[in-house]
Chain A
Amino acid sequence: QSALTQPASVSGSPGQSITISCTGTSTDVGEYVSWYQHHPGKAPKLLIYEVSYRPSGVSHRFSGSKSGSTASLTISGLQTEDEADYYCSSFTSSSTLYVFGTGTKVTVL
């Protein structure tokens, strides 16, 4: 089972919006895509589940969507504390039940 493909890095200025893509096959990227924020040395944090649902407590600046076999995470109103690594994940029908994306480092300029 191959990892989902994400851009290695994305950057933006404070206040801007950025979008991180997550591409796999149609069986990988279905309705169970989730997104995680990971500051090194800290526990990863769930941002989005089931493509576009936001857990309580997560900022409305984070939103998720999907088109075909590509899921996307958009961060609007970029803030310095958004600088972190971001991973998508999907439940799959393969023997390895879950696959993660390759990860994207977000830099706030």
Chain B
Amino acid sequence: EVQLVESGGGVVQPGGSLRLSCAASGFTFDDYSIHWVRQAPGKGLEWVSLIRWDGGATYYADSVKGRFTISRDDSKNSLYLQMNSLRTEDTALYYCAKDGTRRGYYHYFDSWGQGTLVTVSS
């Protein structure tokens, strides 16, 4: 069974930093691209970032480009999101989500974690 468990959320002041983690199990981690998706309170889902299965490419939403960095450690079956220069509008529940295609093109999210909450507030 695929499991994705996020951690690292918390309360941080505007301009601060936070590092999220996602521990994966139940599948061959280094065969799949992984995404971060967020949901602000009372709002819909927003795609944040993607790292390709081989770590050779990363992609970001325009809203976080230059501030967030996605990375992975295949030896630990883990995904990370380093968030810098945080803004109040980054307040959200952050989910990691597994891509649906093995070593292929990334078109949908077939497994999700339950999320970790990030609150940016002074």
CA of A1 to CA of B45, assembled, Å: 14
B95 touches A97 (CB 8 A): no
Q: How many of chain A's residues have a CB under 8 angstroms from any CB in B?
A: 27
Q: Which residues of A contact B47 (CB under 8 A)?
A: 89, 96-100
Q: Which residues of B contact A45 (CB under 8 A)?
A: 112
- Give A88 Cβ to nearest chain B Cβ, in Å: 10
B112 touches A44 (CB 8 A): yes
Please classify how large the interface on chain B is, using the bins under 10, 10 to 19, 20 to 34, 35 or more. Answer: 20 to 34
Q: Which residues of A contact B110 (CB under 8 A)?
A: 46, 49, 55
Q: Which residues of A contact B100 (CB under 8 A)?
A: 46, 49, 55
A102 touches B61 (CB 8 A): no
Contact of A50 among B59, B108, B109 (CB under 8 A): B108
A34 touches B44 (CB 8 A): no
Contact of A43 among B35, B46, B108, B113 (CB under 8 A): B113
- Give A97 Cβ to nearest chain B Cβ, in Å: 5
A34 touches B107 (CB 8 A): yes
CA of A87 to CA of B106, assembled, Å: 18
A43 touches B50 (CB 8 A): no
Q: Which residues of B contact A100 (CB under 8 A)?
A: 37, 44-47
A32 touches B115 (CB 8 A): no
A97 touches B59 (CB 8 A): yes
A interface residue numbers (CB < 8 A to B): 1, 3, 32, 34, 36, 38, 41-46, 49-50, 55, 87, 89, 91, 95-103
B interface residue numbers (CB < 8 A to A): 4, 35, 37, 44-47, 50, 59, 61-63, 95, 97, 100, 106-115
What 8 A-B pairs have minimum CB-CB distances, sorted nearest first? A98-B47, A34-B108, A43-B112, A103-B44, A49-B108, A32-B107, A100-B45, A96-B61
A-B contact pairs, 13 of them (CB 8 A): A44-B95, A46-B108, A49-B110, A89-B47, A91-B106, A95-B62, A96-B62, A96-B63, A97-B47, A98-B35, A98-B47, A99-B47, A100-B37
